[in-house]
Homo-oligomer: A and B are copies of this chain.
Amino acid sequence: MIGARVRGLREERGISLSALARLAGIGKATLSGLENGTRNPTIETLYAVTAQLGVPLATVLAEPAATPTVHGAAVHATLLEVFADADATYELYRMRVAPGPGQLSPAHQPGVTEHITVFSGVLRAGPVDAPATAAAGGYLRWTSDVPHSYTAVGDEEVAASLLLRYPRA
């Protein structure tokens, strides 16, 4: 898993296992075992390798579901950041809405608001009884304690940022 990523990065750069081990100041046996997954490396060892590869440690630490994604019929969102404040918790998503029939989302807790800034395409979203439309650069905002919908207008996929605000109960 992590070994495969290291090996991939090394081969991308076209350098040999022996050479990388020498550059990183570790034994060839260590690097071989790391790449093949037969060793459980220390942070220090892994850092020596990633530093030589010029990538941050996080690159090879394939977090299993580190960035949770939400899939739906038309909507696909990736969590970029969570911010927990005294008054509310914010979740910032990168959202894509595929063209077609759109997607319905059930009501959230009372007081939850959604904030969308459209990057590209045309989005029609909001409470099912009063959706609004925004094109690239536009902004939408509604209180999502009622069922709401997301629909891409036209044939183009919509890209946008979605901010969910959950007030402290």
Do B61 and A66 have beta carbons less than 8 Å apart?
no
Is A169 among interface residues, defined by CB-CB distance under 8 A? Answer: no
Is A107 among interface residues, defined by CB-CB distance under 8 A? Answer: no
Interface residues of A in 150-169 (CB under 8 A from B): 159, 161, 163, 165
Q: Which of A20-28, A97-105, A124-132, A135-143 contacts B (4 or more CB under 8 A)?
A: A135-143
Do B136 and A43 have beta carbons less than 8 Å apart?
no
Is A76 among interface residues, defined by CB-CB distance under 8 A? Answer: no
Nearest B residue to A90 by beta-carbon distance?
B119
Do A92 and B58 have beta carbons less than 8 Å apart?
no
Interface residues of A in 87-126 (CB under 8 A from B): 87-88, 90, 92, 94, 113, 115, 117, 119-120
Nearest B residue to A135 by beta-carbon distance?
B87
Nearest B residue to A46 by beta-carbon distance?
B43
Q: Chain B residues near A163 (CB, 8 Å)? A: 117, 161
Known A-B contacts: A41-B43, A80-B80, A139-B141. Give 18 more (CB < 8 A).
Answer: A40-B44, A41-B42, A42-B42, A42-B43, A57-B58, A58-B58, A58-B61, A58-B66, A61-B61, A80-B81, A83-B159, A86-B120, A87-B136, A88-B120, A92-B161, A113-B137, A115-B117, A115-B139
Interchain Cβ contacts under 8 Å between A and B, 12 examples: A40-B44, A43-B43, A43-B61, A56-B63, A56-B66, A57-B61, A58-B66, A85-B159, A86-B120, A92-B94, A117-B163, A137-B165
